Structure 1
Amino acid sequence: MSICINPGCANLNIALNSSNRYCESCGNDLVLQNRYRVTSLLHDKSGYSTIYVVDDAGTEKVLKVLLPHRSRNPRVRYLFRQEADVLREMDHPGFPKVDGYFQQKLKNGKILHCIVMEKIEGSNLETWVDNHEPITEEIALEWLEKAVVILNELHRHKYLHRDIKPPNLILKNNGELVLIDFGAVTRKNFFYRKIYRNIIYIILSLLEKKPKGDGFRAPEQERRYCKYVSDFYSLARCFVYYLTKRSPGCENMYDENHNLQWRQYTVNISSDFLNLLDKMMARRIKDRYENGEEILKEIKKIKWNRLHTV
């Protein structure tokens, strides 16, 4: 099967396209960049991009196509292309490998903005948890350690993810984790030029793709003030969900002072691990761990205690 990615095509899935070079319905090229043939639709509900599966000489990959109405915004185009640029820098198994960004010109002269990257075989952790019981402390420690290592690598390149949430971590079939969705990423230094902060706030408020955390975003993100610990805050909020199957975005998870009350929904989780997560997502930045290395040391200590406690 071959699918036409022209948004204006009257018959995207016409059967004759299975082996054609050009779409029978609209005449646009079905082999993108003389290389990629689109074989199926993967996801089209984000409101930001349409995601397809493509065949590249027998290898399945993922194609992201920026929605045409989104591409009219230059800031959105920049952020979309930046996703490919960031992933190209990441030589680590915790990130999808990317072929790159390209523009596909249609017969009507319109341009589609595209990224092709590795297709990760596995399940996002939101879906995985939805289909299983809440995870055990042993699994949670393994996942958290792997996720912190991945974020450390991203931060080492001076990037903040800013959109850590349950579906953005993929559990591969081999048990490893992969971080996805870099549409909201930014370089750290960009946010801390104080002289421009007010100008940046206005521009980004008007133009930028705002990550929707649903209870996962750090409080400072609402004020457009992000630090590396903001990503770790969001990661801890993900583990609230993984351990309880309850979203920290639900109003009934909070007391009258808007403090998250989540421990009561956990089962057989040590106080050490609960304390670790609570410190990662402390409301005040100064009350959190300073960096990922501190978190990893605490994880190792908890693992050691589990092995040596009768």
Structure 2
Amino acid sequence: MNKGYVLNGRYEIIDRLGEGGMADVYLAEDLILKRKVAVKLLRLDFRDNPQAKKRFQHEAMAATQLDNPHIVGIFDVDEVEGMQYLVMEYIDGEDLKKYINDHFPIPYAEVVNIMEQICSAVSEAHRHNIIHRDLKPQNILVNKNGYIKITDFGISRAGTEDTMTQTRSIIGSIHYLSPEQIKGQMATQQSDIYSLGIILYELLTGKVPFTGDTAVSIAIKHSQQAIPSVRDFDPRIPQAMENVVLKATTKDPKDRYANVDQLADDLNTSLDRSRANEPRFVIPEHHTDPNEETRVMPFPPLSDAAAAKNDTNKRDESVGTIKKDKTPKKATNKKKKRRRIIIASVLALLVLLITFIMVVTASGRTRVPVITGTTESEATQKLQSASLQVGKVRYHSSDKIDRNRIISSSPTENTKVKKNTKVALVVSSGPRKVRVGNYVGQNYNLVKQRLQQEGFKIRKRNAPSGTFKAGRILQQDFRSGSKLTPTKHTLTFVVSTGVKQITLKDLTGMTKAQVVNYANKEEINPTFDYVYSNDQPKGKVVRQSPGANEIIQQGGNVAVWLSRGPKSSQKDALKSFNVRVTIPYFDAKSDATSSSEPLAGNDSGTAPTNSDDSSEATQTSGSSENVVFIYLKDHDHDFDTIYKQMVITKDTTVMLPFKLTKNEVGRYKIVRDGKTILRDNNVTQDSQ
């Protein structure tokens, strides 16, 4: 679709934002409301595909049910000239995958903030019984202010939905998919919680926990291998924060958090000092009940029939001699026979009389049917079918029974009553709802107290602000004027801490890692450069700007210069230059035999040859992205440390900065999925 095209006479295309598996996304101008929007258009090759059209429509239906500031809003759904499209809220920013690549390492407090916003959106979906099923950083958008929005509900489903394809195919992104989904089982809220745990892992480490040559190998790891420790990657991560990852990603859904709110609450306190000595989370063992083990049962007693037969035999044996010795008279036998006939006749009459009474009685009585949870009309039909009448109907609020459904009856269910009895009904008027307002700028403690009295749960996040005084509300995660159910909604407020002033300490003599740790703690942003120094050893801070004891605001920048060591002589003058490298993109769907790529150089400096480990014949299938690690060795960089991590979706050219003396030799290598695809071990000042 070309720039300037006006879709359906309303949406003027400005630019192309990106493309997905089935749809293209464009930036457009709403000519009526004068605002920028994102238009998602089903691709031409999928417009006759009923599955694709159904998924496209499902995304719109799912998203329009949800009202949360962290979920991308759907403004319009339509079809014109055979083109199906969605009009969505435009987010000026990037997806979380790119955000992680651009900003890693991310301060722990910011990780908590990002996850809380994601959890708020997922919790809202779960409250509407919608399981996302494809939570991943690529479906999470971050605007210029760090505000989170979740999108792409294309393969979400209702929690009660039962689909035939659910057990026959894997739906979702393999790097973030729960073990039960991989096994073809039905996705639940705990499946989304597993994906959230993987996203938290990636925020803390900058990578996904499992990679492999094929999607199957990754799936097996998710099903069978324990999640790697984030503290092995970064020992500074608090154990309480790692415990959130471990509990969210247990293999058995029953061992995970019961709901997303529990995960958010646990993560929100993971940086508290009170949890500093928390032990590592251990998955609870599922023991079998010892009483259910195989037991030897006692030998069974004789049955009643066998006992009676045994007793009769004994009596016959004991009286046998009497029968032989004594013969009964005929008159006595006739009297006994007559008496037996009379008794039998009386018993038969009694049985007939009791049966008649029961039939007559039953014909005038009935049983109140089970009607709890049914609609009023369904309850009326059931009562009439049972020969009963609807009595007085009254309404009562209920958090457990849906609106216009039966809470209880009087007489109660399964009670026997006379026919045509009137049965009184109590019908649910739905949960009690409270209208909420705009609290931005108000005192947080007063607002919290008022809303808690209404029954709401309140969650707080802190943020510095030069506009609002400390304790005033900066943001709220719900719309003003909406009616919310206190028992089902947790209200989140971002509260101003004021403009926090940071008095800088003297960084001189610190290592780069120590500076980063200090900056994360104080929430300031360091930048690094390198200089020669005779005063400080290589790798230690020489100077800083602003200087020690100067005051900056939280979030401010501080420039730090690290020592290269003493400068030896003029002939060893350091020279800066760039090496241009094009990283080839590997498409898993293309011919595997065409994926072997030449290296940029070799150890001897002769003509390039293919590396032994450069074959890409079995790359991860089904992925549209290549995760690439760049290692660089020069005067300032160590070859054992990752210089840069990036995600590419096409052939990408990068400029690698080198600083070398005349006698130094630099190196670089580029690794994709654990395999070196480009390498040069002979970079000198003459390589530019």
Q: Tell me the TM-score normalised to structure 1 length.
A: 0.78
- AA in 2 matched with 1:293: D
Alignment match, 1:268 = 236
> Matched residue of 2:103: which SS?
coil
- AA in 2 matched with 1:42: L
Offset of residue 72 of structure 1: 2.2
Offset of residue 231 of structure 1: 0.6
Residues 88, 100 of structure 1: 8 Å contact kept: no
- AA in 2 matched with 1:246: K
Higher relative contact order (Cα pairs below 8 Å, separated by 6+ residues)? 1
Offset of residue 233 of structure 1: 0.6
User: 2:30 matched to 1:56?
Assistant: yes
Equivalences for 1:135-154 in 2 at 5 Å?
135-154=106-125
The runs of 5 or more residues in structure 1 that have no matched partner are 6-11, 19-29, 106-110, 192-196
- CA distance in 2 between counterparts of 1:201 and 1:178 reads 27
Equivalences for 1:269-288 in 2 at 5 Å?
269-288=237-256
Equivalences for 1:1-310 in 2 at 5 Å?
5=1, 12=2, 18=4, 30-44=5-19, 46-57=20-31, 58-105=34-81, 111-191=82-162, 199-201=164-166, 205=169, 211-222=171-182, 223-251=184-212, 258-263=225-230, 264-305=232-273
- CA distance in 2 between counterparts of 1:35 and 1:118 reads 15
- AA in 2 matched with 1:261: P
Residues 51, 62 of structure 1: 8 Å contact kept: yes
> Matched residue of 1:234: which SS?
helix
| Cα 1:180–1:297 shift into 2, 3 Å | same
Q: How many residues align?
A: 266
Deviations 1:50-91 (A, max 9, x none): 111111133211111111222322232112012112222222
Offset of residue 140 of structure 1: 1.4
- CA distance in 2 between counterparts of 1:174 and 1:211 reads 32
Deviations 1:151-188 (A, max 9, x none): 11011111010111112111222332111111111111
- CA distance in 2 between counterparts of 1:307 and 1:172 reads 32
| Cα 1:269–1:308 shift into 2, 3 Å | closer
| Cα 1:127–1:70 shift into 2, 3 Å | same
- CA distance in 1 between counterparts of 2:80 and 2:203 reads 39
- Percent identity, aligned pairs only, is 23
Offset of residue 307 of structure 1: 9.6
Offset of residue 303 of structure 1: 4.3
- CA distance in 1 between counterparts of 2:88 and 2:104 reads 31
Offset of residue 35 of structure 1: 0.8
- CA distance in 2 between counterparts of 1:93 and 1:118 reads 11
- CA distance in 2 between counterparts of 1:267 and 1:166 reads 24
- CA distance in 2 between counterparts of 1:167 and 1:297 reads 24
The runs of 5 or more residues in structure 2 that have no matched partner are 278-688
Offset of residue 291 of structure 1: 0.7
Higher strand content, 1 or 2:
2
Alignment match, 1:24 = none
- CA distance in 1 between counterparts of 2:160 and 2:116 reads 26
Offset of residue 116 of structure 1: 0.7
